[in-house]
Amino acid sequence: MSKVRLRFAPSPTGALHIGGVRTALYNYLLAKQAGGKFILRIEDTDQTRYVPGAEAYIIEALEWCGLRPDEGPGFGGNYGPYRQSDRKALYEKYAQQLLDSGHAFYAFDTPEELDARREQEKEVGNHNFRYDPTTRHSMRNSEALGAAETQRLLDAGTPYTVRLKIPTDEIVKIQDLVRGEVQFQSNELDDRVLLKTDRMPTYHLANIVDDHLMEITHVIRGEEWLPSTAHHVLLYRAFGWEDTMPAFAHLPLIMKPTGKGKLSKRDGAKLGIPVFPLSWQGETEAESFVGFREAGFDPRAVLNFLALLGWNPGTEQEIFDLEGLIEAFSIEKIGKGGARFDYDKARWFNQQYIMHTPDADLVTTLKPLLAEKGVHQDDAFLLAFVALMKERATVYGDFWEQGYYFFQEVTTYDTKAVKKKWQAERVPLFEQLRASLLALGDTGVPEIEATVKNFLEVNGLGFGDVFPILRVAITGTTKGPAIYDVMALLGAEEVDRRLAKGYAVFNAL
């Protein structure tokens, strides 16, 4: 068997959907596992849907995920060009080949005529008009018009499309790697357009020509392509390429978190969750979306989550890095049913990655985020901060959200827990504690702890009488890392300032 080559072939019509990322991932995994190539091909044959920036977005998204193509636009490779608009002439040539061999025909029907015909059929109760062997002869095409008339129209420069001539009474069998054998009756298939009036190919033609020329061995794509796979098989046959036809695997779709249907970009905005890898700035607010990256996710967690959405290793292991996925992945273990997008699970994966990432690495990724907030502490401080917060963060943004007080004054005080503990007669006591803490100077946790405990003993107070006060005065919240750790990191003078301010706030309650 020759070397394995898989391609990810997105269309640059906007931001790359998270399902597309999963498709890319599965392609990547299988390619790498087999020691083969992972190829990026841009399917931009629909000029009306082309969106500037979409291709750059796709590439940036793959890069963020760490799925680097071995071949593709900007990545080199000997099978280029890798952008279909740059291969236009090729498709015309192959369309001509099909025309010559009698596997395709010229169709002169305009879109308006086609629409009119559909309407007309609808009126007589036929809701599924199809351009196929049974209707072909009533349309304006080379099959119905004959050679002479066809030539006349061609000579006159009449716009035309090239359609695949579907054979009658054939059974097209597909061996799908995920679903097993799937059969189609050719009589149920339509004479699909191969080459459009603008001389650009449709997906169907381009995809077969390119996969053949690029020597693609496996086509892993979304389930939405399953119904047209019969056409693709027929195309391989028509070209005489059936013996090198790639293997097909159709992936189950990713479904909405709630309700019915497949996950759409609208679901993200509706539920306030990311469904794209990276943020996308559209023309309007409604066409702009936040990405997993901007939502504070680690790409490794996103990949891990995506990998397990529709695939499982057959063991109880859930945490996989890319290398581990490459090793464990197998196409047989891909599920058949659609998988609901579970944002909570995605968050859990992210939390796992944050907890298990070395502190120094966390500092590196957090630095730019903190810098945006005006934080420029040295690494030693950041390292200590990260160590205290990593078990409490689910997304990267949590480090700031839940730990801003390490870098600036407390903005809001959760006084509920303090109210009943803050008694007028104890205020002198707390002032005394503040003074002894300041006198201690910058020091370690054991010293602070000893001082506080001593204070507790001497004054006959319990933990519950003091900790909420210290905690809220210093951090503003009742949650967070051990307060001694926070105090040690902040330093005696800062703690003193915060206690003074906190006491003032409590006194005003």
Partner RNA sequence: GGUCCGUUCGUCUAGGGGUCAGGACGCUAGGUUUUCAUCCUGGUAACACGGGUUCAAAUCCCGUACGGACUACCA
Residues within window 447-466 making contact with RNA, judged by CB under 7 A: 463-464
Q: Is the dihedral of CA 238, 243, 246, 251 positive or negative?
A: positive
> Exactly one of 37, 165, 265, 390 is catalytic; which is it?
265
Told to check if 180 binds RNA by CB under 7 A, we report yes
493 contacts 435 by C-beta, under 8 angstroms: no
Of 32, 433, 65, 393, which Cα lies nearest the Cα of 220? 32
Give the whole-angstrom CA distance, residue 362 versus residue 398: 13
Q: How many angstroms separate the CA atoms of 448 and 201, rounded? A: 74
| Residues in contact with RNA, shown as a per-residue x/- string from 462 to 501 under the rule CB under 7 A | -xx--x---x------xxxxxxx-----------------
C-beta closer to RNA: residue 224 or 431: 224
Q: According to CB under 7 A, which residues from 297 to 316 bind RNA? A: 308-312, 314, 316
| Residues in region 71-110 near RNA by CB under 7 A | 109-110
Q: Is residue 404 a contact residue for RNA (CB under 7 A)? A: no
Instruction: Round to whole Å and give the CA distance between 312 and 175.
Output: 22
Q: CB-wise, 97 or 135, nearer to RNA?
A: 135
CA–CA gap between residue 174 and residue 165 (Å, rounded) = 19
Question: Which residue, 38 or 106, has its beta carbon nearer to RNA?
Answer: 106
**Which of the ranges 23-31, 144-152, 177-185, 265-273 carries the binding residues for RNA, by CB under 7 A?**
177-185
| Binding residues for RNA restricted to 313-372, rule: CB under 7 A | 314, 316, 318, 333, 335-340, 342, 344-345, 347-348, 351, 355
- Selected from 57, 106, 131, 413, the binder of RNA by CB under 7 A is 131
Cβ neighbourhood burial of 443 (10 Å; 0-12, 13-18, 19+): middle
Kindly identify the residues of this chain, within the stretch 239-298, that bind RNA according to CB under 7 A: 252-253, 255, 260-262
Q: Closest Cα partner for 246 from 191, 192, 209, 194?
A: 209
Considering the complex, state which of residue 289 and residue 311 has its C-beta at the smaller distance from RNA: 311
In terms of CB distance, is 61 or 193 closer to RNA?
A: 193
Q: Does 45 bind RNA (CB under 7 A)?
A: yes
CB atoms within 10 A of CB 508: 7
Q: Does 419 participate in catalysis according to the annotation?
A: no
Letter string b/e over residues 42-78, b meaning 16 or more CB atoms within 10 A of that residue's CB: bbbbbeeeebeebbebbbebbebbebebbbbbebebe
Q: Contacts with RNA in 372-391 (CB under 7 A)?
A: 391
Among 33, 97, 228, 330, binds RNA (CB under 7 A): 228
CB of 106 to RNA, least distance (A): 11
List phi, psi (to 5°) of 185: -85, 125
Q: Report CA-CA distances (Å) from 106 to 109, 154, 196, 360.
A: 9, 9, 11, 64
Six-digit token pair at 149? 């008339």
* Helix then strand then coil, % of the chain, to nearest 5: 50, 10, 35
Provide the mask over 4-43, with x wherever binding to RNA is found by CB under 7 A and - wherever it is not.
-----xxx-x-----------------------------x
Please give the helix or strand (H or E) that residue 394 lies within, else none: none
Q: Which of residues 195-224 bind RNA (CB under 7 A)?
A: 196-198, 200-204, 223-224
Contact (Cβ atoms closer than 8 angstroms) between residue 418 and residue 388 = no
Q: Is 505 in the site for RNA (CB under 7 A)?
A: no
- Confirm or reject binding of residue 432 to RNA (CB under 7 A): no
What sections of 214-342 are H helices per DSSP?
229-239, 265-271, 299-307, 322-328
CB of 2 to RNA, least distance (A): 26
**Smallest distance from RNA to CB 202, Å:** 4
DSSP for residue 276: B
Q: Is 72 left (phi over 0), alpha (psi -120 to 50) or beta?
A: left
Contacting residue, 144, 182, 273, 369, with RNA by CB under 7 A: 182
Show Cβ contacts of residue 450 under 8 Å, excluding neighbours closer than 6 positions: none
Tell me which stretch binds RNA (CB under 7 A): 55-63, 182-190, 240-248, 280-288: 182-190
Shortest CB 35 distance to RNA, Å: 25
How many binding residues for RNA (CB under 7 A)? 82
Q: Is 170 in the site for RNA (CB under 7 A)?
A: no
- Nearer CB in complex with RNA: 254/363: 254
**Residue nearer to RNA on the CB measure, 62 or 226:** 226
Minimum gap (Å) between residue 155 Cβ and RNA? 18
Looking at the annotation, which residues are catalytic?
A: 265
